Amino acid sequence: MIYKSLVVFALIFFSLSTIGFFLATRKKEDRFDQWMLVSRLSFALGTVLITAVFAVLIYLLTTHQFQYNYIYSYSSMDLPLKYLVSTFWAGQEGSFILWIFLLGLIGLFVMQSSKDYEPYVMSIFSLAITFLITMIAGIHIGDITIGSSPFKTIYEAFPGQVPAGFIPPDGRGLNPLLQNYWMTIHPPILFTGFASALVPFAFALAALWREKYDDWIRPAMPWTLWSALALGTGIMLGGYWAYETLGWGGYWAWDPVENGSLVPWLATVACIHTMLVQRKTGTLKRFSIFTALFAFVMVVYSTFLTRSGVLADFSVHSFSSLGLYNQLLLFILTFAGLGIGLLIYRWKRIPYPKYTKEIYSREFAMIVGALLLTLLSIATIIGTSLPVFTKMWGQPVIIDAAGFNSVALPIATLIALLIGVGQLLWFSKTGLKTLAINLIVPGSLALVSTIIVIILGIRHFGMILLAFSALFALFSNLMVLFRIIKGHAQLAGGAVAHIGIALLLIGFITSGKYDEIQSYALPKDKEVEVFGYNLTYKGPSERDGKGAFRIVATKNGNEYQLDPIFYFSEYSEAWMKSPDILVQPTYDIYIAPVTLEKAESETNLNSLQFKKLETKQVGSSKLTFARFKPLSMNPDDIQIQLDFALEQNGKVDSISAIYGIGPDRIPVSTPGKTKAGVLLTVKNIDASNGLIVVSIDGLDDSSPVQKPETLIVEASKKPFIGLVWLGTLITMGGLSLSIFRRWKNKQIAI
């Protein structure tokens, strides 16, 4: 009961903080200071309480308090500490606590630095936290339940099914797919991005509230960059987890949960560029406010889609419903209504200075780029939402990966071109002539490189255009970066981030569109050549405490060990498979287990299948199917002679058997016999597949050949997939440089 009280009191304090900050926005001299004091104290106390809730849940998980349903549902005694920590956010209640905790910490920083924006921004902050706390409140008012408590006991979760005070000896455990170190750090980073997205939203809403449309950019910019950094890092950590764990060879599937983080990131990156243009030219006030509002509204909307249960039939990892549909719907309606509603209300009163710069300016390129990013985010969220809305009128319409790719490809191509041209426009500054001269080197290098990648195998016209654009962006930004470093290294953040995006796009092309995938049978202790490596299956092994198979890969005297995971999970009641990856500088060899075939007789003498001219080893003999010979094709009397050659003890004998179908449609088989007494009978003819089935008897040595234990794997070669991860790191590094410069200088000058 005391743990639930922590949540209830946190709800009370954040509600009081919301009311107090709202009243403080009215700035009546006799009450302003009092309301600000109450609001700040309430927010701080609420943050302390939610920190206590965070710490309590960690304690309950690490001490195996299985009397609580959340602990029982996601943890177990055998989990190591690193995975026990990750069980914190394995379920909805824990991930909400993480989100609230991060919002509280960020709110304390914002409260100290927002100055005269404080009551406006913090009233919005407190309201968001209040809404989120209701998701974990677990308050019952008559037949109405507000939120799902993480401190609900087993007895409360299963009334009448377990006795009061019952403590299970162990928990159900953590989903094996989540037992990965990337899942230990991916959710906290992603939720940091979700939480920090509230900051530019709150400042943009405060700007509409106060009708001051320029001042908000300065304090909001570092947080906007931070949100882009955290969201981008979290997205690609999730992508690497999928690549390393799921065994399908990819890192992005356009799943609704994936899109739920991608859309806010796209909107946040668009917001960064519109804010820079507004700061430089005084234009785009409406656009900047819209993108800041849209980014957080999409965070809330994606939360509704993935946590209300409405996408449970369409997403492979959407959360199941906890009865939060109405609360989540109210959450999205409130914040969308506040943001979009106030923007519409103020629309005509927002100054709209005329854009006076040339269309061949950096600012114009940034405007077009921001517009394209916004369009892509809107198209993505529409495609993600389509199953929900179309289901209301009948069969749901689901957009597959190919559909999303068809929209993203041309937009990404244009964005890559703008990334290259925009940087050159910024650096040229002297007009079209200088720009044209600066285009020669990166344009020529991109053209030559594109010709090379065409020769290497790219044939898809859209991919060729994207490759050219990405290469052009890469060379343009490398040229600009080289010049910046010589004079103004502190301004390198944008160029570095753009280089990362260019590498990321090139990695997408090479690893996703032009990888090679084949299936291979690896008999135990026998070498099989796979993409230039000799792979030998050695038998069972272990990796990360899970059952696996040992594969040794050799090439040019170098030996590599691979241990793809393959075991039966009691938790999932299914076979769990995870790949292992041989990482090389220019490619990955990706080995995903498919199945294990036990050692058995390779040849069943009662059911030998042959195709024409096929030879099979039968004991110490070889049997070859030579030909069909129709004897009668009368519909009422079909007779076919089948001729075989039997090689035994260095001698070759012929065997001819007859297979027929009489007027009663019953098959009749006449065996063939060699002089040595070997008998061959045709049992069936499968004309559709060109197969015949025979049995054989009377061989001197008829013991079947033993087929060894064989591991079936799917192997793929992914050229330059490392560019995806390298591009991500460089992009995040560029954003980090930009954040550092703005925090250090406390300004957002370009």
- DSSP H or E segment with residue 491: none
Is residue 749 scored above 70 in pLDDT? Answer: no
pLDDT digits (tens, 9 = 90+) for 533-560: 999 999 999 998 889 999 999 999 999 9
pLDDT confidence of residue 569? 83
Q: Return the structure tokens found at 27.
A: 């700035």
DSSP code, position 202: H
Q: How confident is the model at residue 3 (pLDDT cuts 50, 70, 90)?
A: confident
pLDDT confidence of residue 388? 82
pLDDT confidence of residue 706? 63
In DSSP terms, 695 is beta-bridged to 681
Instruction: Match 């943050």 to its residue by tokens.
Output: 47
pLDDT confidence of residue 1? 67
pLDDT digits (tens, 9 = 90+) for 101-144: 999 999 999 999 888 899 999 999 999 999 999 999 988 887 78
Q: CA-to-CA distance for 651 and 717, rounded, in angstroms?
A: 46
Is residue 748 scored above 80 in pLDDT? Answer: no
Encode burial over 92-115: b for 16+ CB neighbours within 10 A, e otherwise. Answer: bbbbbbbbbbbbbebbeebbeebe
pLDDT-wise least confident of 9-23, 35-49, 242-256? 242-256
pLDDT confidence of residue 476? 94
> Domain extents for the chain?
1-174, 518-599+710-719, 602-705
Phi-psi region of 64 (alpha: psi -120 to 50; beta: other; left: phi over 0): left
Cα angle at 729 between 723 and 733, to 5 degrees? 140
Q: What percent of the chain has pLDDT over 70?
A: 92
Is residue 742 scored above 80 in pLDDT? Answer: no
pLDDT digits (tens, 9 = 90+) for 667-680: 888 899 888 888 89
pLDDT confidence of residue 750? 34
pLDDT confidence of residue 357? 67
pLDDT confidence of residue 422? 84
Closest alpha carbon to 577 in 253, 87, 249: 249
Q: CA-to-CA distance for 430 and 359, rounded, in angstroms?
A: 14
Q: How confident is the model at residue 57 (pLDDT cuts 50, 70, 90)?
A: very high
Q: How confident is the model at residue 312 (pLDDT cuts 50, 70, 90)?
A: low
Q: Return the structure tokens found at 391.
A: 């289901």
C-beta separation of 134 from 96 below 8 A: no
Q: CA-to-CA distance for 590 and 261, rounded, in angstroms?
A: 27
Quick check: helix, strand or coil at residue 604?
coil
State the chain's mean pLDDT as an integer.
Answer: 88
pLDDT confidence of residue 600? 63
Calculate mean pLDDT across residues 305-328. 68
Q: Which residues contact 697 (CB under 8 A, 6 or more apart)?
A: 605, 678, 679, 681
Is residue 319 scored above 60 in pLDDT? Answer: no
pLDDT digits (tens, 9 = 90+) for 60-113: 999 999 999 999 999 999 898 888 888 999 888 999 999 999 999 999 999 998
Is residue 318 scored above 60 in pLDDT? Answer: no
Calculate mean pLDDT across residues 278-290. 92
AA identity, residue 254:
W
Q: Return the structure tokens found at 361.
A: 């300016």
Higher-confidence residue: 215 or 743? 215
pLDDT confidence of residue 704? 56
Calculate mean pLDDT across residues 695-706. 69
pLDDT confidence of residue 244? 92
Quick check: helix, strand or coil at residue 35?
helix
Is residue 590 scored above 60 in pLDDT? Answer: yes
What is the pTM assigned to this prediction? 0.84
Cα angle at 43 between 42 and 48, to 5 degrees? 95
